[in-house]
Amino acid sequence: MKRTLVILLLAPLLGGCMSVMSHAYRDEIGDIPRYYPGTHTDGQLIATPFRENEAHALPARVGFALIGLVDLPFTVVFDTLYLGL
């Protein structure tokens, strides 16, 4: 419980993180779109619990989805700011 609380309190500090990561590694990964790549990647994280062929256990998949949901609003803002880059 304490660990979950710490993660939830630190999550806003990492907001927009997926946008930065997706822009940095977009060319290396290859299947990330040019526009709004962080938003796309957050969408993939949010959809993780609903994939049938996912290798991770259900609690991890739900955790990925929660991280994606917390990060999504910040990532949309950062992706919009990065449109010109």
The residue assigned the tokens 């796309």 is 40
Q: How many CB atoms lie within 10 A of CB 23?
A: 17
Using pLDDT thresholds of 50, 70 and 90, give the confidence band for residue 81: confident
Question: Does pTM surpass 0.75?
Answer: no
More confident residue, 38 or 19: 38
Q: Write down the pLDDT at residue 8.
A: 61
Q: Is the pLDDT of residue 12 over 60?
A: no
Query: What's the whole-number mean pLDDT along residues 16-41?
Result: 78
The reported pLDDT for the residue numbered 66 is: 87
CA distances from 55 to 23, 30, 60, 83 (A): 26, 22, 10, 33
pLDDT, average across residues 9-29: 69
Average pLDDT, the chain: 78
